[in-house]
Amino acid sequence: MAMANNKTHCFICNTEKITYSCEGCSKRFCLTDLTEHQQLLREELNHIINDYDQFKQRINERKQNPQNLQSNSLLKQINQWEIDSIEIIQQRAQNCREIIIKTSETFIYDIEKKFNDLCEQIKQIHKENEFNEINLNYLTHELIDITQELNNPSHISIQRDSQSFINEISIISSKRIEKLYFIRGH
């Protein structure tokens, strides 16, 4: 019983034996249970290594296909913005084209109407056989006027606005590493 001095209770089997302290958990174990304890720790380490390996595999998979759910969603938003913006531009271009076509039609119609009025006057003069230099002068100048009008339709032009009617988009990043890069870059 004199030997009992250097014996303490083992944390696992609770018997009085020569025990060894584990520095990690500060508990004391008999040699058998210390070996068991170390075996458990080794198994836990293996689990952790396994988790690390799995994580490494996930990174490699991501490298093969870097698009994740979030970037897919962001790309979708950019695509949608592209489609919407193109649609707005096409709509605006179509409106302008329709205005040009309609205006041109009206323009020709107006000139033709003026021309028909003048023809009517010529017919009248011819029929009545009553005219002088004033009439001839008038008819000549009217024809010059409408010829000029037909050749140079200056009543319509295109104006380009410097202000965009498309909603612009940009990418905002709040990642710390990019801020660091930005600071280092300057």
Q: Are strands 8-9 and 28-30 parallel, antiparallel or unpaired?
A: unpaired
Q: What token pair was written down for 79?
A: 């695509």
7 vs 141, which CB is nearer to Zn ion? 7
Residues 26-85 contacting Zn ion, CB under 5 A: 30, 33
25 binds Zn ion (CB under 5 A): yes
Closest separation in Å from C-beta 25 to Zn ion: 3
150 binds Zn ion (CB under 5 A): no
Site of tokens 């649609």: 87
SS3 167: coil
Closest separation in Å from C-beta 56 to Zn ion: 28
Site of tokens 């009992």: 4
The end-to-end CA distance of the chain, in Å, is 77
Q: Which stretch binds Zn ion (CB under 5 A): 7-15, 61-69, 102-110, 134-142?
A: 7-15
**Binder of Zn ion out of 20, 22, 143, 149 (CB under 5 A):** 22
Q: Which stretch binds Zn ion (CB under 5 A): 6-14, 62-70, 82-90, 112-120?
A: 6-14
12 vs 111, which CB is nearer to Zn ion? 12
Closest separation in Å from C-beta 20 to Zn ion: 10
Closest separation in Å from C-beta 49 to Zn ion: 19
SS3 183: helix
Q: How many of the chain's residues bind Zn ion (CB under 5 A)?
A: 8
Q: Are 184 and 128 in contact (CB under 8 A)?
A: no
Closest separation in Å from C-beta 13 to Zn ion: 3
Q: What token pair was written down for 105?
A: 């039609």
Distance CA 105, CA 156 (A): 13
The DSSP output letter for 168 is P
Helix, strand, coil share of the chain (percent; to 5): 70, 5, 25
24 binds Zn ion (CB under 5 A): yes
**In the complex, which residues of this chain contact Zn ion (CB under 5 A)?**
10, 12-13, 22, 24-25, 30, 33
